[in-house]
Amino acid sequence: MYLIVGLGNPGLTYKKSRHNAGFMAMDILCQKTGIKIKQKGFSALYGEGNIAGERVVLFKPQTYMNLSGNAVEQAMHYYKLPPENLIVIYDDIDLQLGTLRIREHGSAGTHNGMRSIIQCVHSENFPRIRIGVGQDKTLVLRDFVLKKPSKEEFKLLDVAFECAADAAILAVGGKLSEAQAKYNHK
């Protein structure tokens, strides 16, 4: 069984912001798999189903980004999952807009949501799919990630969300290295 987490902030204010890239990729994953995220629990919205013959829980924490680990920890404890069966999809300002980086494990980098998850699950050993949202050094970081991308930027991001969903499907099917080979490029 896998827990696939898309990171973002709840509420209409943040709905289409860069920081909600994980939520938007999760919406595409739901469309591709037919899994509906309608249940409430674990301080999150979630849905259960199957991908590539594996049972999965698609998960959107509702704790706000910086406390995402609390929700993830609750679900992992309930389902008795090891860290390796966690896949996290999230935004990354250090990547060019619309690019992906898929890793088997690693640090949180500058991402507070990932820092929270790593702290709560006591491990960095889980796959992650990072979606590049770029950055604008003329803006304060918080303002930039909470800002909505332009229509032109969304064209690139929509492709990235689609690829991130496909990469998650490959990862669940035991093909993480294939996902890396296919999507880890500029």
**Domain parsing of the chain, residue ranges:** 2-183
Q: What is the mean pLDDT of residues 117-126?
A: 96
Interstrand relation of 2-6 and 54-61 (parallel, antiparallel or unpaired): parallel
Q: 1-5, 73-77, 132-136, 154-158 — which is least confidently predicted?
A: 132-136
The pTM for the full model equals 0.95
Instruction: Give the CA angle between residues 40, 7, 59 to the nearest 5°.
Output: 35
Q: What is the mean pLDDT of residues 35-47?
A: 97
Residue 185: predicted pLDDT: 74
Torsions phi, psi for 87 (to 5 deg): -125, 125
| Cα–Cα dist 108/174, whole Å | 23
Q: What is the mean pLDDT of residues 17-41?
A: 96
Per-residue pLDDT for 119 more than 70?
yes
Residue 110: predicted pLDDT: 81
Known active-site residue 19:
yes
Catalytic residue among 19, 77, 105, 185: 19
pLDDT digits (tens, 9 = 90+) for 141-174: 777 778 888 899 999 999 999 999 999 999 999 9
Q: What is the mean pLDDT of residues 34-46?
A: 97
Per-residue pLDDT for 184 more than 90?
yes
Superfamily of domain 2-183: Peptidyl-tRNA hydrolase (3.40.50.1470)
Q: How confident is the model at residue 186 (pLDDT cuts 50, 70, 90)?
A: low
